[in-house]
Structure 1
Amino acid sequence: MSMIEVTRDVKNSLLSRREITCNFKGLSGRLKKLEAVDMISKKFNLEGKIVIPILLKNETGRPVVSGSFYVYEDEKLAKEHLKAAVFARIEKAKGAAVKAEGETAAETAEAPKEESK
């Protein structure tokens, strides 16, 4: 049984994008937007395409997260259709993820030095 259940997958030819709505089972409270984008990209083989997370919503009383995503072929077209704040949030989240990975790498590098003292 898959953790991702697709509820809607529509090709919007007017806006030249694909709109995917799905449920993530058992990930309530633990799923981040960038992780959801990675999961969607792997499930639908969307490598090389721009996947924009629009909405992640937890359902009350259930361990289910509902998500809406837009898939664009071209980043320029996505920037024309969506607000700049959406891309600013994505870049901020990517920067925080890189910073967190850098800190954990630094902590593991420092740990052996403390033990040798």
Structure 2
Amino acid sequence: MDGMVMDELVVEEERFNPLLNRVELMCIIKGMNGMLKRQDAAKLIAERRGYAGRFVVPVNLRGEKGKRDLRCLFYIYEDEGTARSQLPRHVIARLTGEKVEKGVKKKGDKGKEGG
């Protein structure tokens, strides 16, 4: 993200979801299609929208063919613990860089058995 100039951040919708206790932000980042990583996008939203102390999760970064705009969906949580309780483990692991182990069957566990 160093050296890149962002043209504009257009917020399409920003709403608080009281059931899940998070802010859902839909926006367009102009001129950044293919140039922005998920972690950089989360930092950008935290700085530009005033969510500095919160846990920002980029859910969807989608570009269109022939356009330089990037459509984004972010979930903004008060803390990381709330996000961990609601989102799949691999989503948090991609942001924080931790390793996620796949579910390995134990010897005592039996899968599907025909019979």
- Structure 1, unmatched stretches of 5+, are 94-117
Runs of 4+ in 1 over 3 A off after TM superposition: none
Q: Percent identity?
A: 34
Find out whether 1:76 has 2:76 as its counterpart: no
1:7-86 aligned within 5 A: 7-86=12-91
TM-score by length of 1: 0.74
- Structure 2, unmatched stretches of 5+, are 1-5, 99-115
State the superposition RMSD in angstroms: 1.7
- Kept after mapping to 1: 8 A contact 2:59/2:75: yes
Deviations 1:10-60 (A, max 9, x none): 100010000001101011111111111111111111111110111101112
Number of residue-to-residue matches in the alignment: 93
Q: Structure 1 or 2: larger helix share?
A: 1
Find out whether 1:90 has 2:85 as its counterpart: no
Find the counterpart in structure 2 of residue 112 from structure 1.
none
Aligned letter for 1:11?
A: F
- Kept after mapping to 1: 8 A contact 2:7/2:31: no
